[in-house]
Structure 1
Amino acid sequence: MADNRKYYYLKLKENFFDSDSVVLLEDMKDGILYSNILLKLYLKSLKNGGRLQLDEHIPYTAQMIATLTRHQIGTVERALSIFQQLGLVEQLDCGLLYMTDIELMIGQSSTEAERKRAARLENKALLPPRTNGGHLSDIRPPEIEIKKEIDIELEKEGELKGQAPARSYGRYENVFLTDTELSELQAELPEKWAYYIERLSGYIASTGKKYKNHAATIRRWAADDTAKAAPKQGIPEYTCKEGESL
């Protein structure tokens, strides 16, 4: 059985440690410890798009971060304060911490996609060398190769079912809708269709859950939200505000 689980990785530029913020950070007392904490927080936030949270309802606290990074709580508290001063971490209105530069550092793949890419590269190695001035830039980057594989597989699946192929949407391009489904959602949820697509995309990426019909899932979530719109008694459940700006 193919392993299609998503794997996220951190992409750092070669001059990462030469950036002004990191140089200033490491020049402080305990700066090397702060640098270590910063990298661990980047890694912890990858699957949640930069948000520091255990799941969609539980944000990381300083004590939780201290336990997960294996640093003293006082060191973590000082580091978080300094990160916010340097603009490396932002605290959202709901209290959740967000790694501000994470969007430039997130990479993702799946084991099945990596296997196929490795097989293609092996086949290319068996081909005769280029003699017409070709160079390395002719080879498509891995990200483009992976997305092409996904698009082709979706098209084939749509053809087999006699339906129009679904397209990928959302921050992580993991919400699949046909043109008809998208049009129907836009008509049914004129002000919130994009919000629910992004919400589903982040949820799938962070939990690894799979849904047979993404359009139906969005409709069910919208209906549940409508039903929950009436005020409730007791302690409110943790959640970021709808439409919150990062």
Structure 2
Amino acid sequence: MSESHKYYYMKLKETFFNDSKILLLEQMQDGPLYILLLLKFYLISLPYNGLLLVSENMPHTFQTLAIVTRYQVGTVERAIKIFLKFGLIEILANRTYYMTDIQLFIGQSSTEAERKRMERLRLQQQLPSSTVRADICPPEIEIRDKERDRDKVRVREKEGQPIRSAFGAYQNVFLSDSELVELQNKLPTSWKHYIDRLSEYMTSSGRQYQNHAATIRRWAAADQKKSHQQTYSRDYSVEEGETV
């Protein structure tokens, strides 16, 4: 069995360059450079859900960002200060930069998911297997128009219900756009972890849930409660003869 590799892509709206913040950036001295640098930051942050990280536990600095973007350190520093002022970047408690609008553009898939999608397409069109390549692997980074296929299964549970897209490692966690935004706001650094966790659990256990967003919120609340209980249950008692 061939290995399944994840890849990430950005989806830019056709109105991206008409956004007021982008228009203001464009009018600044070195504005076009800042816009290109902003797009590079978005792409760098894709594998880490909007966080600018060198690796899992190593945040980017002015110096490392200058290296990977091939910009001068001074240009990177000035751009980040402007992005912070415009709200395009935030600094988290651990001094990690977070691209605040990344969830408007981010998507992910895998070579295995692509094969499954092509197989569904073949069955729908009743094409012979020989006409569909089994080793199709899309490019690592794609910029797609909003009107193009989102490469995710979209289902409508009932007439009048919101359309839900498939997420997770096994593409079996279904969330509407509003549910996804709510999870991203409530769990800015862990929403993807809970989606993948639910996806893997349903696949391995065979269990199904009526509302995936509600299940994720319940799991997150239970984890938070458990964390608080462990914090307050620590034993700070002192044995006789010991000092504090």
TM-based fold match above 0.5:
yes
Aligned to 1:171: 192
Aligned to 1:150: 170
Contact 1:46–1:106, Cα closer than 8 Å, also in 2:
yes
Cα 1:151–1:91 shift into 2, 3 Å: closer
Amino acid corresponding to residue 78 of structure 2 in structure 1: R
Identity of matched residues, %? 43
Per-residue CA deviation, residues 80-127 of structure 1 (Å, 9 max, x unaligned), is 011011110111122111000111211010101111212322443458
- SS of corresponding position for 1:7: strand
Aligned to 1:215: none
- Does residue 45 (structure 1) correspond to residue 45 (structure 2)? The answer is yes
Contact 1:88–1:100, Cα closer than 8 Å, also in 2:
yes
| Cα distance in 2 for residues equivalent to 1:148 and 1:100 | 21
Structure 2 unpaired stretches of 5+: 128-148, 155-165, 173-189, 208-214, 237-244
Contact 1:3–1:110, Cα closer than 8 Å, also in 2:
no
Contact 1:66–1:76, Cα closer than 8 Å, also in 2:
yes
- SS of corresponding position for 2:3: coil
Q: Which has the higher helix share?
A: 1
Coordinate RMSD, CA, aligned = 3.8
Segments of 4+ moved more than 6 angstroms: none
Aligned to 1:74: 74
Aligned to 2:65: 65
Structure 1 unpaired stretches of 5+: 128-139, 153-168, 196-222, 231-246
Aligned to 1:28: 28
Aligned to 1:236: none
Cα 1:116–1:149 shift into 2, 3 Å: farther
- SS of corresponding position for 2:152: helix
Matched pairs, number: 170
* Structure 2 length-normalised TM: 0.58
Cα 1:20–1:58 shift into 2, 3 Å: same
